[in-house]
Amino acid sequence: MSKRTITLIVVTVALAVWWPGAALAAEEQFPSKSDPSCLKCHPAYEKTPNLLAGRFVDVAAKSKSLQLQIGKENEVIFFDDATVLKNAPEYKKIDKNEAVRITYVKRDGKSYAKEVEVKKGLQVAKEKLMEAEELAKLVAQGPEKGKYVLLDSRPTDNYDQGYIPTAKSFPHFAFDNLMEKVLPKDKDILQIYYCAGYT
Amino acid sequence: MSARKAEALGYKNVKVFHAGLPAWKKAGQPVVSNVANIENLNKTDGSYILVDFRSKDEIEKGHIPKAVAAPGGDVNALKDQFPKFKRAVTILYNKEGNVAAALDAYKMISGWGYNQVSILDGGFDAWQKAGKQVATGPAQTKIAYVKKLAPGEVDLPVFQKLASGESKDKAVLDVRNADENKECAIAGAIHIPLDQLEGRLADLPKDKEIVIHCATGIRAEMAQNILQKAGLKSKFVKGDLSFDRDPQGKCIAKIAE
């Protein structure tokens, strides 16, 4: 046994002990790639092997492949009948730009998905959820009559391109800088937050 | 999450519209955009459709440059001028940004399949108040929308020439499946199904630009990504192609109407 092989075994065993998914550690590992927007909330993705996280672009049913936007690049990932699809009835039903997390392996230079999960984001308690219909009623009344403040958490560029009427721009990443300017003095007034969907 | 931060600051009535903007649009609710958006589009040379709903008199006194007129929000007459491209950015405005007054037109255009429609928040008043350039006289008579090519997308006339065998400095790559290729394929095209592409990069010419097509543009775009990463010069055809044989039996690829 070469020195290199021994080192590899030691590292693998160490990883197997350290890593919760010990069963996986014996298999070959492939580098993780994540879109910056995913890493903001999930910094651990960077160190998780076999993981691709990004925004859904499209799917080609005939070649059984899908595209994920990760940073400025698009990744092409193939799937088959053994691929587990989570939180979507079929690939065609995944909306463009939805956050998707994929566990993958490389075979013959191609990336194969073992699992494709459409991210449903943080759990929000039911009583804190607002539905489109209820929001539409408030928006029709306007902030003064409806007694609410509607806040758009997306970056300013996205806001400029299109937002819910009466919403104020309040990007999540600038929360601390903007809170004094944007947030109301009244602590009891209804505040409603939204962004580009489940992230 | 912002909502949690707000609660931590002592706000007692914080809610989350978790499904967000996509759900809002899906529910048929209107979206507004602002003056900064038009400015950004102008700066980036982005093409957009701008429709002024005010009266002819008001428009002639002053309107946002590039606007076409649809007095009273009657957009039906403009329908034929809308581009085929459904993601064309479309901005509607009236005097004060009255969303309710623009709603019927918004719904009609959305109903035609356009999914980037918005109503200008604050309307022409906001534009003027922001001190932006105002055009006088009649509005544009026709929608002049130029679709910007996506990165790596080939100009359609270039592909048309290629499909008829006119340009020799480029190679055509068909990434459709074997059954599709067998039915009808462009003469001289290299055929490698997308799922075999990575293993067969050596079959491709290194000295020519490769123009990739499939049937809809989706697989071709994926293939273009693969070739780009492999350092091969390539472009792809975006959009639906139809394949038909001419009377001589030659396969002709056309961009579908």
Inspect the interface and report whether the beta carbons of B221 and A110 lie closer than 8 Å. Answer: no
User: What count of other Cβ atoms lies within 10 Å of the Cβ of residue A198?
Assistant: 18
Residue whose entry in the numeric block shows the structure tokens 């790639």? A33
Q: How far is A26 from chain B (nearest CA, A)?
A: 26
Q: Which of B225, B85, B84, B207 has the alpha carbon at shortest distance from B153?
A: B225
Q: Above pLDDT 90, what percent of chain A?
A: 63
Mean pLDDT (whole number) for B47-61? 96
- List the CATH code of the domain at A31-118: 2.40.50.320
Q: Above pLDDT 70, what percent of chain B?
A: 99
pLDDT higher at A24 or B136: B136
Indicate whether A22 pLDDT > 50. no
pLDDT band at A6 (very low <50, low <70, confident <90, very high): low
A120 in contact with chain B, both atoms CB, cutoff 8 A: no
Closest Cβ–Cβ partner in A59, A128, A165 for B30 = A165
Inspect the interface and report whether the beta carbons of B118 and A162 lie closer than 8 Å. Answer: yes
Q: Which residues of B touch A64 (CB under 8 A)?
A: 195
pTM above 0.80, yes or no: no
Domain boundaries, chain B: 2-129, 156-255
* Structure-token pair, residue A129: 């959820």
What is the three-class DSSP state of A189?
coil
* Residue A69 to residue A76: CA distance in whole angstroms: 9
Indicate whether B160 pLDDT > 50. yes
- List the CATH code of the domain at B156-255: 3.40.250.10
Q: How far is A17 from chain B (nearest CA, A)?
A: 33
Q: Which residues of B touch A75 (CB under 8 A)?
A: 225
Inspect the interface and report whether the beta carbons of A128 and B3 lie closer than 8 Å. Answer: yes
CB-CB contact of A98 with A197 (8 Å)? yes
Domain boundaries, chain A: 1-27, 31-118, 126-194
Q: Which residues of B touch A163 (CB under 8 A)?
A: 21, 31-33, 121
Q: How far is A60 from chain B (nearest CA, A)?
A: 6
Which among A137, A149, A163, A185 is the top mutation candidate for probing chain B, defined by the most B β-carbons within 10 Å of its own β-carbon? A163
Contacts of B185-190 with CB under 8 Å at 24 or more apart are B185/B243, B185/B251, B186/B162, B186/B213, B186/B251, B186/B253, B187/B250, B187/B251, B189/B213
Question: In CATH, which of 3.40.190.10, 3.50.50.60, 3.40.250.10, 3.40.640.10 is domain B2-129?
Answer: 3.40.250.10
pLDDT band at B240 (very low <50, low <70, confident <90, very high): confident
Inspect the interface and report whether the beta carbons of B6 and A75 lie closer than 8 Å. Answer: no
Inspect the interface and report whether the beta carbons of A128 and B16 lie closer than 8 Å. Answer: yes
